[in-house]
Amino acid sequence: MKKLFVLIVLMAGIVWGAEAQSKGITFEQTKEWKKVLKKAKKEKKLIFIDCYTSWCGPCKMLSSQVFTREDVGNQFNADFVNVKYDMEKDADGVMLKDKFEVKAFPTLVFVDPNTQQVVHKMVGAGSAEWLMEGGKIAKDPQNNLSGLTKRYEAGERTTDLLSRYLTALSSAYMQEKQGAVAAEYLNALSDDEIVTKDNWELIKKNVSDPLSKPIRQVIANIGRFYEVAGKEVVDYKLENSIKGAVAEIMYWRSGNGEFNEARNAELVKLLQSLDYAFIPGALAGLYTAEYVRKGDYKGMLNSMREAFKYNVFRNGEDQMYFQNNIEALTGCDDKALVQEGIDWIDTRCAQTKDYFAKANLMNSKARLLTKNGDTLGADKAKMEEEKYNKEGEKRSGGKAVRAIRMN
């Protein structure tokens, strides 16, 4: 009787496991691309490929929270032959990574098995609804990425086509193509033609360079764009575009390629013509960056003092400005100037209330101490960094986490 009971439990577990698995997407067991192609051709279905890596967090989220959904499984099991490849470990995965130009993870690819061409691509992770909508578009030969590309290359330029195509290019992380398509259409419009709600949406989603013709047209016709899109929305777009261009110049360092002096001069000229609250801080960033590029660290420090004297920053921008420039002293061979930077860090740290900001300042201090050959002092600064970081987490109750430094 006891053996019978155990057998029943085991059988129930197997049935339950199979049922649970069937609720989500059923991925092919084989990793052989030729076999996947053969099955898809036989069933006359597109191939859905989950391109992942073992270290990719969003990939794991898709696998555990989205691919397992019953509604997702119902759709994808009916419409596609589904397969997963670790793009770094599976032999055919490595091959397909190059074949389908997979450059980020996760990337979700829909392939025609007859031509082995990508008909649709989605980069990143989203909700189940996002994935299901992507699956529907992939099956639509007129509106998937391949279909939209063909329509565009055939000369179609309706606003609906452009909107769909740019959205598909963005989803596929084809930024260069996305920018080129947006520019080709928008650059051909006159001031009177460009001021429409639809064109504003194209600019907002696809144009980021403040020196581009569309953004310059927005600036030149600001009142009219306020009418079609709203002052707050337009100003927000302009501020982010300008700050992005300024940050690119501020963070440039030798070794990052040739610096574009003409673009820098053009950006300075544009900012000098505008009257927004954030402009003085943006100009300060550009002026100080010029001293850094020239290796004039004394001039850099004086430029920084001038900016702080006139209080040109807002919303915490002073911290980013200070830290980016003070760390440029790691390229300075004048120990006295480097020490000046170290002392200034200590002064700011004493005046700063935010513990995560204090931690970042100690990180900068450790770098400058290392530059001056004070390894013991650098170790102490790193200990202070850790102390402030823990205090920040403690005071936030674990709700805030310090941003990870990228350099």
Q: What is the pLDDT of residues 105-122, one digit of tens each?
A: 999 999 999 999 999 999
Nearest to 289 by CA among 271, 274, 277: 271
**Which residue did the predictor score with more confidence, 140 or 402?**
140
| Mean per-residue pLDDT, 125-143 | 97
Band the pLDDT of 405: cuts 50, 70, 90: low
Give the helix ranges, DSSP H, for 109-260. Answer: 128-138, 145-153, 159-171, 175-186, 191-194, 197-206, 213-220, 222-229, 231-250
Q: Which of 44-53, 118-127, 278-287, 391-400 has the lowest mean pLDDT?
A: 391-400
DSSP secondary structure string for all residues of 17-52: HHHHHHTS--B-S---HHHHHHHHHHHT-EEEEEEE
Nearest to 75 by CA among 147, 17, 24: 24
Sheet of 46-52, strand order? 80-86, 46-52, 107-112, 117-123
| Tally of CB atoms within 10 A around 65 | 12
Band the pLDDT of 6: cuts 50, 70, 90: very low
Q: Is 345 exposed, middle or buried, given 0-12, 13-18 or 19+ CB atoms closer than 10 A?
A: buried
Most distant CA atoms of the chain, gap in Å? 90
The share of the chain scoring above pLDDT 70, in percent, equals: 92
pTM to 2 decimal places: 0.75
Instruction: Name the average pLDDT for the chain.
Output: 92
| Mean per-residue pLDDT, 180-208 | 94
Cα–Cα separations (whole angstroms), residue 258 to 244, 249, 265, 332, 348: 19, 12, 15, 20, 33
Q: Which residues pair with 27 in a beta bridge?
A: 82
Nearest to 69 by CA among 122, 126, 139: 126
For the chain, list the domains and their CATH numbers: 24-128 (3.40.30.10), 140-185 (no CATH)
> In whole angstroms, what is the distance from residue 281 CA to residue 321 CA?
9
pLDDT tens by residue, 308-330: 999 999 988 999 999 999 999 99
